[in-house]
Amino acid sequence: MRNIKLIVEYDGTDFSGWQVQNDVRTVQGEIEAALEKLTRTFIRVTSAGRTDAGVHALGQVVNFKTDSNLPIHVFTVGLNPLLPRDIRILNSSEVDEDFNSRYSAYYRSYRYHIINRPLAIGRQYAWYLKDDIDILKMQEASSLLLGMHDFESFCQAGSDVKHYNCDVHKVLWHEQGDRTYFDIIANRFLHNMVRILVGTLVNIGNGSLNHDDLLDILKAKDRCAAGQTAPPQGLFLVKIGYEKYMESENEVFY
């Protein structure tokens, strides 16, 4: 039995998220349908993380087991013509039998895009925010998130998880022209965690919350204590890391 790893890019705009659901269009469903056409066998795939409706991916990682003897490059050049244009397979490789795209990962990185003017083109890839925000205050507050914390306050209520502990390795706010970016790297993320963090930090940036409020929100372990949930279209899954995270001064986000 072969274990195949795919690097996948997709535009989440017209999908009801990653995970297969009845009667709606999902990224997993499209990939599995294409694999079935290619191999003539139904194959269930595993992803490194389940993105929500409207969320995009630059480097989602997928793996699956197959008896197919197709050459490894066919899982790139053969799958892409069978997939819709909003999903691309960037790379395919054969990996060890025990590799699991989700459980073998050491870290995930996400980027959130904010724009300060209405867009005609690209509006599905950023959150248009009318309010002025102070990113220095937001960065100062974000430093409180570094390390291991219980992020229950930043998880969608009712999520079925064993625990809420996440180890945050890096957080960074920065501006480029009329755009503001939030980059975050952690060992794991909870449902809606990045979007709730962004919404809450924006509340700090516009003055409706302050630096000390973030500590109180973490301690509350209650979703109701945190701020708004930022809209999905600004969020990108950038990279899945399969080696222990080592911060680099030259680290580049997309």
Burial class of residue 245 in the structure, from the number of CB atoms within 10 Å of its CB (0-12 exposed, 13-18 middle, 19+ buried): middle
For the record, the structure tokens of 128 come out as 């248009």
Range from 107-116, 135-144, 188-197, 241-250 carrying the lowest mean pLDDT: 241-250
Average pLDDT over residues 75-93: 98
Average pLDDT over residues 87-102: 98
Q: Which residues contact 63 (CB under 8 A, 6 or more apart)?
A: 3, 4, 5, 6, 45, 46, 95, 99, 100, 101
Model pTM score: 0.94
Please determine, for residue 251, whether its predicted confidence score (pLDDT) is greater than 70: no
The rounded Cα 130 to chain-centroid distance in angstroms is: 24
Name the residue among 230, 106, 113 with its Cα closest to residue 183.
113
Please determine, for residue 154, whether its predicted confidence score (pLDDT) is greater than 90: yes
Q: Could you tell me the sign of the dihedral formed by the alpha carbons of 71, 17, 187, 179, in that order?
A: positive
Please determine, for residue 195, whether its predicted confidence score (pLDDT) is greater than 70: yes
Q: Which residues are catalytic?
A: 52
The rounded percent of the chain whose pLDDT value lies above 90 is 92
Average pLDDT over residues 248-254: 52
Backbone angles phi, psi at 162, to 5 degrees: -75, -35
Confidence band for 11, pLDDT divided at 50, 70 and 90: very high
Please determine, for residue 231, whether its predicted confidence score (pLDDT) is greater than 60: yes
Please determine, for residue 254, whether its predicted confidence score (pLDDT) is greater than 50: no
Please determine, for residue 253, whether its predicted confidence score (pLDDT) is greater than 80: no
Residue pointed to by tokens 């269930």 = 44
3-class secondary structure, 166: strand
Q: What's the pLDDT score for residue 244? A: 87
Are 186 and 123 within 8 A, CB to CB? no
For the record, the structure tokens of 249 come out as 């001064």
Average pLDDT over residues 222-232: 96
User: What b/e sequence results for 146-161 when a residue is b if at least 16 CB atoms lie within 10 Å of its CB, and e otherwise?
Assistant: eeebebbbbbeeeeee
Q: Say how far apart CA 191 and CA 124 lie, in whole Å.
A: 21
Name the residue among 2, 106, 15 with its Cα closest to residue 57.
15
